[in-house]
């Protein structure tokens, strides 16, 4: 597996911990970032994982940057690509290259609150539930087939920061679990549909529903 990140790398750390403990059958072969100073790269180096920094300003355009990413990922031997707080939008050629093996986690209960600033928007709308979603990546921003979600209640006293803290805690459980399903062959994408344990999903799995059998 290769991980792409832009910031702190807390989801990467959760995935790496799950892999190191044997919870998920995955080998992280590379961590890549568009920001050379990203904290997530430091976390990866501390664990002995190969890191690659590809700042966009070093390339003439987005297509050239994506091509360099593809070359680095393919050279690592990764068969699964995981976005863990990677803050750039890909060109269609990148997404096509890894179709069905490119995962992302988004801090909302998709299809609600695509894009940025999800926690503030959820509070402003007065929604009772917020959370996170893991999905396969397609050309549609935050619009690929949904795999699984974890919910948290929105409290009256919540701020965007307090809500984000609780959502992050659920992300750190949900993302490693979904990656484990993929690595063990339980999860696949086929013709725009998510298949889990040999059956097509009509709705995303909910973390609480899978706890007993995980």
Assign residue 73 a region: left if phi > 0, alpha if psi is -120 to 50, beta otherwise?
alpha
Q: Kind of pairing, strands 146-153 and 129-136?
A: antiparallel
- For 67, the 3-state DSSP assignment is helix
Catalytic residue numbers read: 106
Q: Which residues pair with 195 in a beta bridge?
A: 188, 200
Tell me the backbone φ, ψ of residue 31, rounded to 5 degrees. -125, 125
CB 65 within 8 A of CB 73: no
Distance, first Cα to last Cα, the chain: 21
DSSP collapsed to 3 states, 127-179: CCEEEEEEEECCCCCCCCCEEEEEEEECCCCCCHHHHHHHHHHHHHHHHHHHH
């Amino acid at each position: 597996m290769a991980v792409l990140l832009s910031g702190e790398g807390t989801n990467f750390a959760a995935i790496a911990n799950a892999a190191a403990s044997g919870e998920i059958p995955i080998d992280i072969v590379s961590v890549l970032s568009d920001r050379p100073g990203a904290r997530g790269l430091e976390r990866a180096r501390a664990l002995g994982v190969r890191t690659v920094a590809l700042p966009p300003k070093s390339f003439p355009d987005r297509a050239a940057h994506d091509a360099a990413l593809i070359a680095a990922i393919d050279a690592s031997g990764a068969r699964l690509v995981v976005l863990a707080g990677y803050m750039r939008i890909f060109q269609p050629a990148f997404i096509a290259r890894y179709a069905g093996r490119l995962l992302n986690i988004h801090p909302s209960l998709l299809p609600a609150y695509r894009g940025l600033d999800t926690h503030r928007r959820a509070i402003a709308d007065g929604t009772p539930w917020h959370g996170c979603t893991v999905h396969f990546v397609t050309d549609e921003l935050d619009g690929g087939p949904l795999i699984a979600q974890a919910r948290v209640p929105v409290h009256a006293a919540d701020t965007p920061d307090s809500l984000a803290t609780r959502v992050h805690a659920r992300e750190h459980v949900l993302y490693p679990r979904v990656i484990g399903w993929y690595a063990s062959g339980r999860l696949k994408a086929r013709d725009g549909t998510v298949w889990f344990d040999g059956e097509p999903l009509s709705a995303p799995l909910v973390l609480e529903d899978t706890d007993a059998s995980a």
